[in-house]
Amino acid sequence: MNNTSRTLSARCCIVGGGPAGMMLAVQLARAGIKVVLLEKHGDFLRDFRGDTVHPSTLEILAELGLKQRFDSLPQRRVETIEGIFADGIYAVGDFRGLKPYPYLALVPQWDLLNLLAQEAQAYSNFTLLMRCEATGLIRTDGGAQVVGVTANAVEGPLQIYADLVIGCDGRGSCLREAAGLQSQNLGAPMDVLWFRLPRLGSDPEGTYAVPGKGNFFALLNRNDYWQCARVIPKGAADRWYQQPIAAFQAQIAQRIAFLADRVGALATWDDVKLLEVRVDRLLRWHRPGLLLIGDAAHAMSPIGGVGINLAIQDAVAAANILGPALTAPGVPDEAILAAVQKRRLLPTKIIQGIQVFLQRRIIAPALASSDDGRPIAFPRAAKFILRFRLIRSIPARVFGVGFFREHVMSGEPRGRTGKLSIRDIARH
Ligand SMILES: Cc1cc2nc3c(=O)[nH]c(=O)nc-3n(C[C@H](O)[C@H](O)[C@H](O)COP(=O)(O)OP(=O)(O)OC[C@H]3O[C@@H](n4cnc5c(N)ncnc54)[C@H](O)[C@@H]3O)c2cc1C
C-alpha cells in the first residue's frame, strides 16, 4: 500500500456512478448517511449506454419527488413498440394500459445520471469524486472483512475507509474480481452493433423491431435521430469490421428502405459501437463489508431494455434494507447484505430466465438462418393474438413493470442544502 495515499472515511463508499450507484447515493444521502461515491469518468456524457426508462423507474422517480425534473429532460415517450414486417407494421408491445405511467421514456442516460447526481449533491453528507477509479479492496481480519477501497484520483492514490462498500461498478466490476466472487454465465448467442442515423420529419413516428432472416434490427425514435441496433451472432463483429463500412450501409439500406438515403452518415466503423452481450449472475452478492448490485451482480441481456431499471430496483431495495442499519451505530452485519440479495434474486432470475428463453428460442434460430436480405412476414398466429391489447400489454408489463417492484421507503430527506449545477459536479 502506498504511504503517500490520501485517506478519506465514510459510513458507506459506493463505487460506480451508473444508474445503480447514483440512485443508491440519492437515497442514502437523503437518509443523512455519510456517503462517498467514486466514478472513474470525468462526466456522464459518454457513449450510448441505453436510454430506456421504464414505468417502474418513473414510479421511483415520482416517489423521490424527482419526476417533474425528469419530465423536463429531453425525451420521447413511447406508448407502443411496433414490428416492421414484409406485410406491414404491427404493434407487438403496448404500454397504454399500465398505471400510473402508461409509457416508456427514452432519455439519454447521461441526463438521468446528471439529474440524480445533482439531487445527491444537494446533501452535505454526500461526496462525489469524479475521475476517481477504484483499484482494489482494503481488508482486515486476514482478508475476511472489507473496510474500504483503494483508488486512483486526479491528485494521486487515495484510500477510502468505510463501514460498508457497495460495488455498483457495472458488468466489468473490478470489485467483483477483487472479492473473488463467483458468477454463473447464462450465455448469450448474440452481440449488438449500435449506431445513430439522422431522423427526418417524413420518417415513421414509432419505435420499431425489424426482424429478418439472419438479421435483426431495432430502431429507437430519438426525435432528431434514430438510435439503431443491429443484432449479430456472438463474436461476428470482427467479420463485419473486416469488410468496408459500405457493406454494412448496404445491408441497412436493403432492410430498412426509408434509411437508404442517409446510411452515408456512418462514415467509418468508429461510428458503430459493439455491445458484447453477456448474461451472468453472481452466486453470492456479498462478503463481510461488501455488497454488489446492478450489473456488477448480474449483467443483463439487452432484450426488453431492462438493465437500467433492474439496477435502479436493486438500489431502492438496498437503500430500504441498508438505510436503517447505516443510520444505527456499528458495522452492518453480513446478514443484512444477504437480505438485499435475497430480495432481488428472484426478480432478477425471472427476467434473466425470460431473456435467455427468448435468446434461445427466437434470436438464435433467427440469426442462424441464411440472410436473404428480405424482411419476414408477421406470423399469422402472432397477428391474431396480438390484435388484443391485453395480450400486447403483457411484454410491456413484464419488462416495463417487472416483478416484485420496489418502492422508496425512506422517510423525509434530512439535511438538504440546495441544488448544485453540473459545473459544480464536474469541478469536484
Ligand atoms: C451499448 C449499451 C446499450 C444498452 N442499452 C440498454 C437499454 O436500452 N436499456 C437498458 O435498460 N439497459 C441498457 N444497457 C445496459 C445498461 O446500461 C446497464 O444494465 C445499466 O447501466 C446497469 O447499471 P449499473 O449502475 O449497474 O452499471 P453501469 O451503468 O455499468 O455503471 C457502472 C459505473 O461504474 C463506473 N466504474 C466502473 N468501474 C469503476 C471503478 N473501478 N471505479 C470507479 N468507477 C467505476 C463506470 O464508469 C460506470 O459509470 C445497455 C448497455 C450498453 C453498454
Q: Please report which confidence band the pLDDT of residue 240 belongs to, taking 50, 70 and 90 as the band edges.
A: very high
Residue 375 has pLDDT above 70, yes or no: yes
Residue nearest to atom 1 of ligand 1 (CA): 49
Mean predicted confidence (pLDDT) in 110-114: 96
* pLDDT higher than threshold 60 for residue 334: yes
Question: Which CATH number is associated with domain 6-77+103-186+280-366+379-427?
Answer: 3.50.50.60
Indicate which atom in ligand 1 lies nearest the CA of residue 307. 19
pLDDT value of position 389: 86
Residue 420 confidence (pLDDT): 43
Mean pLDDT, residues 61-80 taken together: 96
Does residue 311 line the site of ligand 1, with CB under 6 A? Answer: yes
Instruction: Say what the pLDDT of residue 246 is.
Output: 97
Using the predicted structure, report yes or no on whether residue 423 has a pLDDT greater than 70.
no
From 40, 48, 207, give the residue whose CB has the most ligand 1 atoms within 8 Å, as the site to mutate: 40
Residue nearest to atom 2 of ligand 1 (CA): 49
pLDDT at 300 over 90: yes
Query: What's the pLDDT at 369?
Result: 80
Mean residue pLDDT of the chain comes to 92
What's the pLDDT score for residue 376? 82
pTM of the model: 0.93
Of 415 and 100, more confident:
100
- pLDDT (tens digit, 9 = 90+) per residue, 171-222? 999 999 999 999 999 999 999 999 999 999 999 999 999 988 888 899 999 9
b/e map 328-343, b = 16+ CB within 10 Å? eeeebeeebbebbbeb
Residue range 310-317: average pLDDT? 98
Average pLDDT score over residue span 242-259? 94
pLDDT of 414 > 90? The answer is no
Quote the ligand 1 centre to 175 CA distance (angstroms): 15
Q: With a 6 A CB cut-off, is 52 part of the ligand 1 pocket?
A: yes
Q: What is the pLDDT averaged over residues 236-244?
A: 95
Domain ranges of the chain: 6-77+103-186+280-366+379-427
pLDDT-derived band at 411, boundaries 50, 70, 90: low
Q: In terms of Cα–Cα distance, which of 359, 180, 356, 175 is closest to 283?
A: 180
Q: 18 in ligand 1 pocket by Cβ < 6 Å?
A: yes
400 Cβ inside 6 Å of ligand 1: no
pLDDT at 239 over 80: yes
Ligand 1 atom closest to the CA of 20, numbered from 1: 25
Residue 424 scores a pLDDT above 50:
no
The reported pLDDT for the residue numbered 143 is 83
- 394: Cβ–Cβ under 8 A, 6 or more apart, which residues? none
pLDDT of residue 1: 46
Give residue 421's pLDDT: 39
